[in-house]
Every structure is written in structure tokens, then in C-alpha cells.
Homo-oligomer: A and B are copies of this chain.
Amino acid sequence: MSMQESSGVALWRQVADGIERGIADGRFAAGEKLPGEMEIAETYRVNRHTVRRALAALAERGLVRAERGSGTYVEAQRLAYPLRSRTRFSEIVGAGGHEPRGQLIDAGSDVANREIARELGLKIGAPLIRIEAVRLADRTPICVSTTWLSAERFPDAGSVFADVRSMTKLLGHYGVKDYHRASTRITAAIVDATDAARLDLPLGRPVLVVDATDVDMLDQPLVTKRSRFAAERVEFLVENG
């Protein structure tokens, strides 16, 4: 009926872009409920089904989340996570106006395989402390990470971490005043069942897998770790230049 001048951009896409703009410029705040599908349909003068298509596209990208019977909500916006030489979870989260939290999941001993041995400058089979932890911004889990340290250099690191709940403080406890990132490699994968539960993430969602090694001021390797970030909750920023 309503003669639409064909612009080559589907109506549902125009609606989706409009809502996304609303989220981006803060007209719809994170966690807030969007107007009902009927109301959106009226404001854009389109059918409710067209609105649903738009919302589905946004949900697919993790920008909104629909709850049957209740409404559609704006997902917390992605945490901007700059990748610099000096990378501190607590500083990054704090800078975003959120409260950084850490929670020990598990700590135990391990032995170095070839990769870890190379990263830490140890021999294969050298004794390690392995720490599994989840890190949160406010109450939202951001990433789970498995951290390996030399058991010889950092004895009892597991129980120390359980106390201080911060890698920076743990290293400080052993006399390390400062450290920085030596290498960072990023890949992506589908979350496994264990991490899904820890991250409070539905199965099948993507995670960013980051392998990183931190070194002290003399370039001596301190810790190496593999972190899995909920892709829909973070956004890595690479400094260009």
C-alpha cells in the first residue's frame, strides 16, 4: 500500500540502524528497556514484523536481548579494552567507570609444556602454579583466564592470589614493582561449556582468546596466560602508531 521509494536499503535495516544510533548516542541507555515492538512499529510507520526483523538483527550482534513477556533490553555496551604495552585489567575497567572485580576459581600445580616453557624461559616439565580466575566489571563477567607462573619463583602463588584477587598485587607481593606486556596474540573460538558457565554466556557464543606474556623491567618473563573474553562484552582497541 504505502508506496516506499526504493532506496535499496531494506526497511528492517533502516529501523535497526535507527535503534542502533539511539543506543550509540545514549538515547537508550545500557540495561534499559526499549519501547515495545508495537510502539517502535508506530514510530517508524512499519509493520510489527519488520520491527522484529530489525531487533533480531541487533540481538544477533548482541546489542539487545529480548525477554518474552517482558520486553527488549539494551545489552551493556562493550567494554573498550585498549591493548597497550602496559595493560592492567583493573585500570582499564576502572577507567570505564566500572568496578573491577576478580574471583579465584581454582588454583593448583602444573608442569610446563613446550609452549609455556618457551614463553617463561623454563625447561619443559618445570613446576608451575596454575591459576584460573574470572574477572568482572561490576557484576558482569568479562573474561576467564588461566595463568601460569614458575612455582620456584612464586611459591604459594595460588593462595596469595585468593587473598589479593589481583595479578598486579600478587606480583607486588613477590617484589615485582612493575611489569609490561611482552607479546599478545589474539584468536577467536566458540565458548566451551565450562567457560560458558563461568562467563554466564549461552552456548555457541564466540570468545576472544588472548595469549599473553608479561615481563618485568629487565625483560624477564613473569607470567603467561590464556584469557577467554566474552566477545559481546569487550572490544579490543589496537593503538595505531
CB under 8 Å from chain B, chain A span 119-174:
none
Interface membership of chain A positions 1-31, coded 1 if the CB is closer than 8 angstroms to chain B and 0 otherwise:
0000011111011001000000000000000
Q: Which residue of B lies closest to A57 (CB)?
A: B8
| Chain B residues in 8 Å Cβ range of A6 | 10
Q: Classify the secondary structure of A's interface with B.
A: mixed
| Chain B residues in 8 Å Cβ range of A9 | 8-10, 13
Q: Which residue of B lies closest to A14 (CB)?
A: B8
By a beta-carbon cutoff of 8 Å, the part of chain A in contact with chain B is: 6-10, 12-13, 16, 57
In Å, the complex CA distance between A31 and B147 comes to 61
Q: Which residue of B lies closest to A12 (CB)?
A: B8
Most buried by B among A8, A9, A13: A8
In Å, the complex CA distance between A16 and B8 comes to 10
In Å, the complex CA distance between A57 and B7 comes to 9
Nearest 10 CB-CB pairings of A with B? A8-B13, A8-B10, A9-B9, A8-B12, A8-B9, A9-B13, A8-B16, A9-B10, A8-B57, A10-B10
In Å, the complex CA distance between A8 and B8 comes to 8
In Å, the complex CA distance between A91 and B16 comes to 46
| Chain B residues in 8 Å Cβ range of A10 | 6, 8-10
In Å, the complex CA distance between A57 and B12 comes to 21
CB distance from A206 to the nearest CB of B (A): 15
CB distance from A50 to the nearest CB of B (A): 11
Q: Which residue of B lies closest to A9 (CB)?
A: B9
